[in-house]
Chain A
Amino acid sequence: MKARLPWVAVAATLMISGCSVDSGGSSEGGAAAGAASPAANCAIATAADPGNSQPAADTPIAENAPKLAQKDTYRVAFSQNANNGAWRIAETQSMQDEAKRLGYQIQVTDAQNNQSKQIQDIRSLIAQKPDALFVAPMTEEIGTVIGEAKSAGIPVFLIDRTVSDSQAKAGTDYVTTIVSDFVQEGKRAAYALAKATGGTGKVIALEGTTGSSSAVDRKKGFEDALKECPGLELVATQDADNQRARAQDITESLLQANPDVTAVYAQGDDMAMGAIAAIRAAGKVPGKDILVVSGDGSKEALQAIVDGTMAANVECNPRFGPKAFEVMKQYAAGDEVPTKILNEDRLFDSSNAGEFVDQAY
């Protein structure tokens, strides 16, 4: 027996921070109910939700990747890197549901968080010659096998993560990558926090796993936007590793050292739930004494908004199915498909959380 599992578990927490997409969601979330009177010097406290970002205008069009014939029905394959954790389970389910809805055949493999298994999975999927191949890469380092799909004439669509540019070229070896704009997610969280607090107060931030792209980008988006609001002071930032218990311990320690904190930004919902528990344990009322803004859009977080313990949440929708198949059909029809596609995330607050809580993952 090898001592592999706990590391798998550690890696699994890394995985959960992949993130993206939603085809339909409107982001005009509406003003936070009961916002405090805004500080005069904080422009973002009264600004509307900045919404989703647009891909850069100069994003190249996928021209040299294998073509896809237009057909009534397709036989497709999906390589998931690790089908565990609510987020990835919802992602896989969404791919399967959408394929079923469209009447396509789909074959799904689960690499169980193992990079070499994912490479093997992709090779065996290529051997079965599907019409198109969707891949949620485990890491950026599986690019070589993507080139093998090109040689076999199979168009590849990457979802929620990309692969290293030196190993596979967008628009040539694969068609496109469909990902979330994590910087924008952080920015929208800052706007929501400014709106909920009225633009004044002391803030602590809980980050996802150090070095993960979601953590780095959300931090950048959040902190850059916060500069426009000098009344909101970021007094402490800590890495809570996307873990509930760790976020709880860290928040307890930070609240003790900074008893005048009035807001918490958690990059992910598990950390937000830990922070809410810590606020309770400190004898304060989450949603009243201390406001919590988070990102992910899980069912639990939306329920917390409904219950009044969370102020707002920037979605990181795992349901890639509709967008992924829409892009595939556009590509088959010969439409111009950019080599990077940004997905839309919704903003949830007290005005709309109740409406969406039942369909959240």
Chain B
Amino acid sequence: MTDLATRPAEVSALRRIDWPTMIRRYGAAAVLALLVIFNIIFTENFLDLRNILFVQLRQAAPTAIVALGMALVIATGGIDLSVGAVVALSGQVTAVFLLDGVPPLVALPIGILVGLAAGLFNGTLVSRFGIQPMIATLVLFTAGRGLAQVVTGGRIQTVNEPIVEFLGLGVIAGLPISVFSLIVITIAIIGVTRFTPAGTKLLAVGGNERAAGLVGIRTKWVKTMAYVVAGGLAGYVGLLELGRIQASDATNAGLNMELDAIAAVAVAGTTLAGGTFSPGRTIIGVLMLRLLQNTLVAHGIPREVAQIAQGLIIVAAIYLLRRSRDAR
């Protein structure tokens, strides 16, 4: 799709079909297609529109939104381990405010602000202080969830607020809110990265930070912004997840979501070294991993087996990434 950095490589790839690269790029889509075909044949009611939109896509959408932010950060050569904890923190802070009677019009934006602030914190540590992204984001990975548990006192409390119920069960244009949000966010991100200089700058920083700096790109600012966007998206997903379970749950909200997002980016065939950004393939990666899990669950196979299957697919993706010619 919008695989900006690999375009020059495509010219040489035209001469002869480079199978590892093809599989790396479109393998996730092919597995997704196979899973869909399998389900159409073997899973009752799979093609039901309600199932596709309100079960499969709705379950995948929050992770997909987080994965888009993760893909942006990975494009700069970074990684953000904190997004799952930020999902928890933003949702729990919002829940606590709502339970205290703060109006939703104030409480919901606060959740997104929490996410943006977390992203700014991560981005500042990485770009201004030069701390390794994995270490810098580890700070909020642990402290973020701890803070979420502190603000809620570790309790699960139901939030009876119409707006929260709307976020979880509401429908816009025939779509669940989370699916609608994913579409809007994807269009916005593709628009900005393809049709403004921001996309070129992002990939330049990820591809060769020093060279990007030499041609006048404010590399620190670009990197910080990637983390801020990822944090803001995680903050928004925190609200969606709050709507979904309609209760505060600091322990489990967003749990392992950062790993699912990284897995989706890897399965999508994006190198974790930076310099490539492919939102479409990232979303396909999320959908594929989610449908894999749901297919196994629907057919009564234990969740542990689904996790092993996911691990094997990630190994295959990494192997193909190494074999592939245009991934450096």
Q: Which residues of A contact B (CB under 8 A)?
A: 1-6, 9-10, 12-13, 84-86, 89, 210, 236-239, 241, 243-246, 248-250, 252-254, 256-259, 270, 273-274, 277, 280-283, 300
A5 touches B146 (CB 8 A): yes
Question: Which residue from chain A places its CB closest to the CB of B81 in the assembled complex?
Answer: A3
Q: Is B304 an interface residue (CB 8 A)?
A: yes
Query: How far is it, in angstroms, between the C-alpha of A243 and the C-alpha of B44 when the chains are bound?
Result: 26
A9 touches B255 (CB 8 A): yes
B169 touches A84 (CB 8 A): no
* Apart from the given pairs A5-B142, A257-B45, 6 other A-B contacts in the complex at a CB distance below 8 Å: A6-B85, A89-B155, A243-B249, A244-B252, A252-B59, A253-B294
When distances are taken between beta carbons in the complex, the residues of chain B under 8 Å from A256 are 43-46, 48, 51, 55, 298
A257 touches B299 (CB 8 A): yes
Q: What does the 1/0 interface line of B36-54 toward A look like (CB < 8 Å)?
A: 0000000111101011001
Q: Is B297 an interface residue (CB 8 A)?
A: yes
CB of A233 to closest CB in B, whole Å:
13
Point out the residue from A1, A12, A239, A273 that lies within 8 Å of B302, measured CB to CB: A239
Query: How far is it, in angstroms, between the C-alpha of A86 and the C-alpha of B59 when the chains are bound?
Result: 27
Query: How far is it, in angstroms, between the C-alpha of A282 and the C-alpha of B176 when the chains are bound?
Result: 12
B55 touches A252 (CB 8 A): yes
When distances are taken between beta carbons in the complex, the residues of chain A under 8 Å from B51 are 256
Point out the residue from B153, B256, B298 that lies within 8 Å of A254, measured CB to CB: B298
When distances are taken between beta carbons in the complex, the residues of chain A under 8 Å from B54 are 281-282
Question: Which residue from chain A places its CB closest to the CB of B158 in the assembled complex?
Answer: A300
Say what secondary structure dominates the interface of chain A. Answer: helix
Given contacts A254-B298, A256-B43, A257-B44, contact A84 B142 (CB under 8 A): no
Point out the residue from A1, A86, A210, A248 that lies within 8 Å of B244, measured CB to CB: A248
Query: How far is it, in angstroms, between the C-alpha of A5 and the C-alpha of B148 when the chains are bound?
Result: 11
A238 touches B145 (CB 8 A): no
Interface residues of B in 139-166 (CB under 8 A from A): 139, 141-143, 145-146, 149, 153-156, 158
When distances are taken between beta carbons in the complex, the residues of chain A under 8 Å from B149 are 9, 84
Given contacts A85-B154, A250-B297, contact A245 B44 (CB under 8 A): no
Question: Looking at A237, A250, A253, which has the most chain B CB atoms within 10 Å of its CB?
Answer: A253
Given contacts A245-B249, A245-B253, A249-B59, contact A238 B303 (CB under 8 A): yes
When distances are taken between beta carbons in the complex, the residues of chain A under 8 Å from B304 are 210, 239
Query: How far is it, in angstroms, between the C-alpha of A21 and the C-alpha of B146 when the chains are bound?
Result: 30
CB of B154 to closest CB in A, whole Å:
4
Question: Which residue from chain A places its CB closest to the CB of B258 in the assembled complex?
Answer: A6
Point out the residue from A86, A241, A248 that lies within 8 Å of B155, measured CB to CB: A86
A5 touches B252 (CB 8 A): no
When distances are taken between beta carbons in the complex, the residues of chain B under 8 Å from A239 are 302-304
CB of A306 to closest CB in B, whole Å:
13
Given contacts A1-B139, A243-B252, A244-B252, contact A254 B297 (CB under 8 A): yes
Given contacts A86-B156, A238-B297, A253-B294, contact A277 B145 (CB under 8 A): no
When distances are taken between beta carbons in the complex, the residues of chain B under 8 Å from A250 are 297, 303
Query: How far is it, in angstroms, between the C-alpha of A273 and the C-alpha of B55 when the chains are bound?
Result: 17
A259 touches B44 (CB 8 A): yes
Q: Is B186 an interface residue (CB 8 A)?
A: no
CB of B54 to closest CB in A, whole Å:
6
When distances are taken between beta carbons in the complex, the residues of chain B under 8 Å from A237 are 300
When distances are taken between beta carbons in the complex, the residues of chain B under 8 Å from A5 are 141-143, 145-146
Question: Which residue from chain A places its CB closest to the CB of B84 in the assembled complex?
Answer: A6
Question: Which residue from chain B places its CB closest to the CB of A236 in the assembled complex?
Answer: B300
CB of B298 to closest CB in A, whole Å:
4
When distances are taken between beta carbons in the complex, the residues of chain A under 8 Å from B246 are 277
When distances are taken between beta carbons in the complex, the residues of chain B under 8 Å from A241 are 303
20 contacts across the A-B interface (CB closer than 8 A):
A1-B143, A4-B142, A9-B251, A85-B251, A236-B300, A238-B302, A238-B303, A243-B252, A244-B156, A245-B241, A248-B244, A248-B245, A252-B55, A253-B55, A253-B294, A253-B297, A256-B46, A259-B45, A270-B156, A300-B247
Query: How far is it, in angstroms, between the C-alpha of A89 and the C-alpha of B138 when the chains are bound?
Result: 29
Q: What does the 1/0 interface line of B44-75 toward A look like (CB < 8 Å)?
A: 11101011001100110000000000000000
CB of A85 to closest CB in B, whole Å:
6
When distances are taken between beta carbons in the complex, the residues of chain B under 8 Å from A10 are 255
A257 touches B298 (CB 8 A): yes
When distances are taken between beta carbons in the complex, the residues of chain A under 8 Å from B297 are 238, 250, 253-254
CB of A126 to closest CB in B, whole Å:
28
